[in-house]
Amino acid sequence: MASPVGAALDLLGDRWTLLILRDVFPTGSHRYQQWRDDLDISDAVLSGRLRDLLASEVLARQPYGDHPPRSEYRLTERGLDLWRVLLAVWAWESQWVAKSPDGDVGLRHLGCGSDMVPFLACRGCGGPATLWDITTEVSESGWRWLASPDVPQARRRSSSRAAIGDAAIFRRETVSILGDRWSSTLIALAFLGVRRFTDFERTVAVSPAVLADRLRSLTRLGVLDVVPVSEHGRRKEYRLTPKGLAFFPVVVLVLDWADRWLAGEANRSLEITHRSCAAVLRPGLGCGACGEQLEREAVRFHDRAAPAPAR
């Protein structure tokens, strides 16, 4: 049976899919023609990605016209639950990626009325959840599907032409990391302690040439650093930089979404324990201003130049 981790990375590890989802949340694009025009995407690629999102039950068709019959695409509960991933991506980009020239976008918590940057939190105890405060166990199926994704390589190549633009979220650097199946897998493995080229090669069923290319890309983006580990520098390791370590909330929330929506309790890919409360981590997001746990309806993106609404 397919690992939910593998299924989630197969779905989200694609540039076009991320850009379609990006446009659903902040701008409310729901119609085929909107995506085709805004993304400058071919009919074949757009139809294929929408089929994937429908099959994964992230989107659902909803009729809106009878003459002729027309449908638009709406987020399901499963799709709406990706909101935490999008906010975590925005939080990472706000610190590590150059701002869009189109304007400075802020995130407001309606509960306290403040602009804020969310942090990864434990929904059980309410406290922050950091990389240094968790332990992780990966199931056999989780390792297998991280290593052997059943994804046609042609699909990966077709996504490289995505017109990313300068939107407020999912900018070019993020799409290069999360929107590539192999790059996102390597980041996940780096958080699980894989460091050497030979260890990546043994763990991931990918050609050495592709592996070397993705590691070079992640190093160029400043997410990984090449560190010598022997006296003469012949043995080297790939270690997460501060920029790479800051991607931790995105990885945790993607894996949590996969296990909650694509798996049952008997097929969970991994178990993360929050040491502060000694319980299985149920990751959420906290408000960086007041500390309150965030709910989807209580956050809004906005133009910082616009006045704050009256409370």
Find the CATH number of the domain harbouring 79: 1.10.10.10
Q: What is the pTM of this model?
A: 0.86
> What average pLDDT score do residues 301-310 get?
67
Of 118-122, 153-157, 229-233, minimum mean pLDDT range: 153-157
297 part of a folded domain: no
Of 30-44, 79-93, 296-310, minimum mean pLDDT range: 296-310
299 part of a folded domain: no
| pLDDT at position 158 over 50 | no
Higher pLDDT residue, 148 or 173? 173
| pLDDT at position 267 over 90 | no
305 part of a folded domain: no
CA distance 285 to 126: 9
Of 245-249, 291-295, 301-305, minimum mean pLDDT range: 301-305
Half-sphere exposure of 152 (CA within 13 A, CB side): 5
CA distance 274 to 278: 6
Q: How many domains does the chain have?
A: 1
- Please, what is the average pLDDT of the chain? 84
CA distance 247 to 223: 9
pLDDT for 160: 46
311 part of a folded domain: no
pLDDT band per the 50, 70, 90 thresholds, residue 155: very low
pLDDT band per the 50, 70, 90 thresholds, residue 166: very low
> What average pLDDT score do residues 100-106 get?
64
293 part of a folded domain: no
> What average pLDDT score do residues 66-93 get?
90
- Residue 148's domain spans which residues? 4-286
| pLDDT at position 64 over 50 | yes
Higher pLDDT residue, 139 or 47? 47
pLDDT for 259: 82
Provide the 10 A C-beta neighbour count for residue 201. 15
pLDDT band per the 50, 70, 90 thresholds, residue 279: very high
228 part of a folded domain: yes
pLDDT band per the 50, 70, 90 thresholds, residue 159: very low
54 part of a folded domain: yes
Provide the 10 A C-beta neighbour count for residue 154. 7
CA distance 187 to 152: 20
pLDDT for 1: 47
Q: Is 284 exposed, middle or buried (0-12, 13-18, 19+ CB in 10 A)?
A: buried
- The DSSP string of 281-310 is --EEEE-TTT-PBP-GGGEEEEETTSPPPP
302 part of a folded domain: no
Q: For residue range 207-263, what is the model confidence (pLDDT) as tens digits?
A: 899 999 999 999 999 999 999 987 676 789 999 999 999 999 999 999 889 888 887
Higher pLDDT residue, 46 or 308? 46
pLDDT for 171: 77
